[in-house]
Structure formats: C-alpha cells, structure tokens
Structure 1
Amino acid sequence: MTRIQSRIWTPIDFEQDGKFSDCLRLPLSTTKSAYGWIPIPIVSIKNGSGPTAVLIAGNHGDEYEGQLALMKIARELRPEDVRGRVIIIPSLNFPAVRAGLRVSPLDDGNLNRSFPGKALGTPTEMIAHYISDFMLPMADIAVDLHSGGFSLDYVQCALVRPGRTEDETDKLVELIHVFGAPVSFISSGDGGGGATTLNAVARELGVLCITTELGGGATLSKTGLRIAEDGVKRLLKHFGITPAIDVAESTGSELMEIPGRDFFLYADDDGIFEPSAEVGDQVEEGQYAGRLHSFDNPIQKPQELYFPRSGQVACRRYPSLTTRGDCLFNLMRPRAAS
C-alpha cells in the first residue's frame, strides 16, 4: 500500500544548521479562501549532530503555562547553545489557541484525543498525523506541556506512561526526576485519552515522552510557568542538547499514582457545584466532598457528595456550573512500591 503523505508543509529545512522561525501550513479550503492555509508557528534550532528534542504546547488551546514557557525558550536559545536540534511548537492546536478553547473551532476536534490522526482527515486529525508521522520519528525526547484548561484546576505535576520495556520505564522515571515537578505520575492514561494521545503514540514509537499538568482554570499560574520553563531546560541539559544552559538543579519529584476510576468523583446530575476541598488537600474515604445544588428547583435539598477513596486531591472541577458526567475531583496517593 502506498504511504499517504501529510498535507501539512513548511518551508523550514529541519536538517539545516541555524535558527529558523516560520510555521507549519495546515491546508483549509473555505468559502472565503479556496486555497488557504492556517499557520502553526514553529521554531527549529540546529547545530551539528546530536539528539533531537521536540517541544510542544498548545495541544489544547486554553492551557497557557507551556505555551509561554516554550515561547521564552524559543527566544532565548541560540544555535551556538545547541548540540543537536531543538524543534519548538508552542501553539500546536493553533485554531484552538486563537479561540481560547480546548477543542478546535474548525471541527470540534480534541487534538489530544485524535492521535495518531489521519493524513486526509479533518484539520485536527491532519495535525495529529503530522506529529505522529513526521515529528515524533525525529525525536529522541518529546515534551507535551498541558494544564487543566477551562474545566479543571490541577496540581502541578509531570506524567509519563510505562515504557514498552523495564529499561524504558527506568529512563522515563529518571526524566521525571530531572524535570522536577513537585509530584509526578506513571499512568496508563486510562482515566484520560487512552491510546489516542500524543504520549501514547510516542510510546508506541519508542520515543521517550514526558507530559505535564501545570495549573488550570484557563488562566496562568506563575508557579506552573516556572516549573515548565525550568523542567524543559533541565531535560535539554540532561540530553546534552544545551549543555551550558543556566538552570537550577532538580530536587526530584514525589511519585504518585491514580490506581483506578474509583479515585474519580463524578457528578450524577446537573447543578451548581459547591466543593469542600481544594487541590492538594488530603481527604479520607467517605469524607464530605461538597454538594450539588439544583438550579431547576430552588427549595430542593442539595445532593451531598462524598469522597469514594482516601487520597490527596490531584484536580477538581473549576467552573461551578456542572453537568451530569463532569469530573468533580480526582484523587492521587503515593505510588506503591513495585
């Protein structure tokens, strides 16, 4: 079968030494622009041979810490600082970034639920395919920076999937400690995107990949921004790509786990959510978690909610307005010794 090439293109030559800033061109034919394309900003910094780091943010458009961290790094790095290659895409889902949305306004596509994508698919599927088919195969290390976005407030953390082998898992755990977020997870991704995320495709390709959650509420956490910037710089230094970069040493990371779906608390009805706990709080199984107020019946007694397990709050719903099926809390606990 003939391999279908991506329809996305760029004038950047990723094999050329130097620093180049341009964009990926995502073709989009509309009534107002029959042969048009949408820009996705990209920076390539290369100096001789060496490892390649692919740094990505803006996979979801309403998550900002990673976007700003990568913009700052893109401005700061010079070719003479690099031994190898750094490719930076700070606003991968550019249509969603421009609109301030988690999903694309072009096709309602959730990019981090669209991997490995389709070469001839929707705009969101085409972006996922380009990353899966072209960018990740070039990478020795991939970083995909996320936050909680509009709907969640999240503990600042790093996440990896278990490797395909024990050796790969050991290397990923090492990267967690190099990155240096306060807490980190080794997660199968079953509570989120499963096999449809960038991280999942990277694993299948054998590319070491680390992702994050750095805040939430569709606003900017200064702490999350600092963690993102310092963590990425430490990874680049660890791989020998920017050996002289100025960044503080990591103090390590506390390994946590979310063992299963019973560590999630979901809304069983629509209403206004009144939480009783904040991100980072330690809670006990059966402890009062908050209440859900009916906006249809003002005199109806609110539904009281209770934590299903003991643990620490990893994230909670940020907007008060809630629909049945929304995640209200996600709990974590220290990772069990293997």
Structure 2
Amino acid sequence: MKILTRIWTPIDFDRDGKFSDCLRVPYSSDKSAYGWIPIPIVAIRNGPGRTAVLFGGSHGDEYEGQLALMNLARSLRQEDVVGRLIIIPSLNFPAVKAGRRLSPLDNGNLNRTFPGNALGSPTQMIAHYVSDVLLPMADLAVDLHSGGFSLDYVQCAVLRPGRNEEETKQVLELAEVFGAPVTVISSGSTGGGATTLNAVSRELGVPTITTELGGGATLSPSGVRLAEDGIRRLCKHFGTTPRIEVPPTTGTVLMEIPGSEYHIYAEAEGLFEPAVQVGEDVVEGQFAGRLHSFDDPLKEPRELRFPKTGRVASRRFPSLTARGDSLFELMRPRRKVG
C-alpha cells in the first residue's frame, strides 16, 4: 500500500486565514526517541482560486531566497490573497540551521533527492512530501536558490522546457514576468537535474521558476530584491495577489547551458586562480585561470582555457579545489525558443 506521507502539520490548507506553524518530520535520535524536526511554513488562503507554492532553503547555505520569503510572508495579509499561497522559507531546515548545503542529519542534498521516499531519511521524507502533497496542490511553484558556499553565480532565473510547446510557452512567459536580468533554459542533463524539485514539478505539469541569486554563502541585497520583486510580479500576474503593487519588469535575456562541454572541470587538486568573473563574455580558447599545485611549489600551474564561446554563468568560489570540481560554467544565447 502506498504511504502518502509521514510528515504532518496542524495547518489546514483548505481553511481560510493566515497561519504560521511548521511541518513535523519524524526523527528518532539518541536524544529524542519520539521527536520530530520542524520546518516553518506560512499558509494564506482567501476563498477559491489558484495555488502558488514558494520554496527557499533547499540548501542551507543559500540565503537570499530564505530572507525574501520571510519578508514576503510578513508583509502579505489574508485580504491580499485570492486563492492560496504556501510559503516555506527553510525547506531543508536542518541544513539551514547548520548553514550547510547538505543536511547534518543524513548528509542529504534535498535538491538531488526528488521525488523522495515516505519511509526514508529526513531529507528523503521532505522531498517526498513536496512531491506527493505540496506540488499536486500547486498551480505555480517557485524554488529560490543561490550559489551557496562553493559557487559564485550570475543572478538569473532557471527553467526547464515543458513537456510540450504550450507548457514551454507558459514558463517562458512567467520568466518574462519574473524579470531576472538573465533567464537560463536548462535541460537538466548535468548536475543531477533529473532528481530536482524542478524535474518533479515538470512531470506534474506545474509551471516552475527556479533562481540563482548570488553565491559564496553571503547575502546579496540585490539578490533579495530580485527574488521579492519577481515573486510579487509572478503572484500578481497569476492572480494569487491581484491587488498588490509591484515594480515593473525590465524583461529578461534568454540564455542556455547546453551541457557539460560548457564547463571547465578541475583535472587535479590545487589552488584555483580565476582570471575572469561571473557575467563576463569569453571566447573559445581564452585564458580562464590557473590551477596551482600545493604539493610541489616548483611545479608550473595548469593553464585553464575556455572550451566554448559564451558568458560566465558561475565560477568556483573557494580557491581550494579537488579533482572533478566545476571551476567555470558557461551559458550562451538561446538558439531556439520553444
């Protein structure tokens, strides 16, 4: 028999009002045999209408989305909403409390765990609850990310093409409304994209906008503003908050990351010395930086060169590097829309 979920909450998602409580994830430990882990959640419902579900904190070291959603949750009143709005600023709460990408409870990477497992570890249970409970309620989903500790990332929206032309057209329209300076269209073929929240929502037919809002495990004020303004525009456009004031969008530039050939990966461990910054345009063969051996001070550093022409979407943030780390990721102008 299929188990829907082991997570529970006092919040009734079908009840009108503005409510703040938490999801309760069962977790038995040495110090708490029958305990549960809280995941803060705010639900606002005001009569019939569509449902928007907003997520932040899938990775605990990504802060812009968490702060933007907390600001939004405090500012919105029940009368601002038509239908239902569900806000979860710290989806992987154990990772958020620890300031880590991965959960300290099970070393789980939440955005590489979907669709999850109702009988699994805490991270797997959270992914399953999103996949089997929250997303099936949703008409729109937003999943806010940043580069975290290991990456500096251009501020952008990220989306997947839909299952058909009409779904693709819908998410492209939403990207224009969100209004990030750049929108990256990704097939999800690299980086574990088949096990992300975006991948599950696509299979469910839920239009979803993901973001990258900064990096280096710092807080970018402009990234927070982009997230807040973009979500407000989306919710107004979608009819969930039709009466709120929103700043106008300046549009977006469509880019794509075709695949792993648009990355530079470290072929050895060492100290990474980048020669270009995020957002710079580069050409194939251009000098990208050096990788210095810390084992042999007299060894000449490896010279890195860009494999393709494009624009730098992300670069590794820490200098300390291991073999296999992504040092640069490039994007190029979108060649085909739809």
* Percent of aligned pairs with the same amino acid: 70
Specify the alignment match of 1:264 in structure 2.
Answer: 263
Specify the alignment match of 1:308 in structure 2.
Answer: 307
Specify the alignment match of 2:16 in structure 1.
Answer: 17
> 1:170 and 2:182 equivalent?
no
Specify the alignment match of 2:111 in structure 1.
Answer: 112
Partners of 2:186 and 2:43 in 1: how far apart? 30
Per the alignment, in what secondary structure is the counterpart of residue 127 of structure 1?
A: helix
Give the letter aligned to residue 239 of structure 1.
Answer: F
Specify the alignment match of 1:96 in structure 2.
Answer: 95
Q: How does 1:152-171 map to 2 (within 5 A)?
A: 152-171=151-170
- Contact 2:187–2:258 at 8 Å: present in 1 too? no
Residue by residue over 1:68-125, the C-alpha shift from the partner in whole angstroms, topping out at 9 and shown as x without a partner, is: 0000000001001100000000000000000000000001000000000000001100
Give the letter aligned to residue 162 of structure 1.
Answer: P
Runs of 4+ in 1 over 3 A off after TM superposition: none
Partners of 1:121 and 1:29 in 2: how far apart? 12
Task: Point out where structure 1 has 5 or more consecutive residues left out of the alignment.
Answer: none
Cα displacement (A) at 1:190: 1.2
Per the alignment, in what secondary structure is the counterpart of residue 23 of structure 1?
A: strand
Specify the alignment match of 2:283 in structure 1.
Answer: 284
CA RMSD of aligned residues (A): 0.7
Residue by residue over 1:203-255, the C-alpha shift from the partner in whole angstroms, topping out at 9 and shown as x without a partner, is: 11111111000100000111111100000000100011111112111111000
> 1:40 and 2:51 equivalent?
no
Specify the alignment match of 2:322 in structure 1.
Answer: 323
Give the letter aligned to residue 217 of structure 1.
Answer: G
Cα displacement (A) at 1:5: 2.3
Cα displacement (A) at 1:160: 1.0
Partners of 1:187 and 1:134 in 2: how far apart? 26
Residue by residue over 1:110-144, the C-alpha shift from the partner in whole angstroms, topping out at 9 and shown as x without a partner, is: 00000000000011000000000000000000000
Cα displacement (A) at 1:337: 3.5
Give the letter aligned to residue 104 of structure 1.
Answer: S
Give the letter aligned to residue 162 of structure 2.
Answer: G
Q: How does 1:177-216 map to 2 (within 5 A)?
A: 177-216=176-215
Partners of 1:80 and 1:119 in 2: how far apart? 35
Specify the alignment match of 2:130 in structure 1.
Answer: 131
Cα displacement (A) at 1:7: 0.8
Cα displacement (A) at 1:303: 0.9
Q: How does 1:26-105 map to 2 (within 5 A)?
A: 26-105=25-104
Specify the alignment match of 2:234 in structure 1.
Answer: 235
Per the alignment, in what secondary structure is the counterpart of residue 269 of structure 1?
A: coil
Task: Point out where structure 2 has 5 or more consecutive residues left out of the alignment.
Answer: none
Cα displacement (A) at 1:194: 2.2
Specify the alignment match of 1:224 in structure 2.
Answer: 223
Cα displacement (A) at 1:261: 1.3
Cα displacement (A) at 1:193: 2.1
Q: How many residues are treated as equivalent by the alignment?
A: 337
Partners of 2:193 and 2:89 in 1: how far apart? 23
Give the letter aligned to residue 291 of structure 1.
Answer: R
- Contact 2:57–2:96 at 8 Å: present in 1 too? yes
Give the letter aligned to residue 282 of structure 2.
Answer: V
Give the letter aligned to residue 198 of structure 2.
Answer: N
With structure 2 as the length reference, what TM-score do the two structures score?
0.99
Cα displacement (A) at 1:258: 1.1
Partners of 2:147 and 2:189 in 1: how far apart? 17
Partners of 2:170 and 2:4 in 1: how far apart? 32
Per the alignment, in what secondary structure is the counterpart of residue 274 of structure 1?
A: strand
With structure 1 as the length reference, what TM-score do the two structures score?
0.99
Partners of 1:248 and 1:302 in 2: how far apart? 48
- Contact 2:54–2:143 at 8 Å: present in 1 too? yes
Partners of 2:84 and 2:272 in 1: how far apart? 47
Residue by residue over 1:242-279, the C-alpha shift from the partner in whole angstroms, topping out at 9 and shown as x without a partner, is: 11112111111000011221110000000000000000
- Contact 2:3–2:118 at 8 Å: present in 1 too? yes
Partners of 2:161 and 2:238 in 1: how far apart? 20
Partners of 1:107 and 1:31 in 2: how far apart? 14
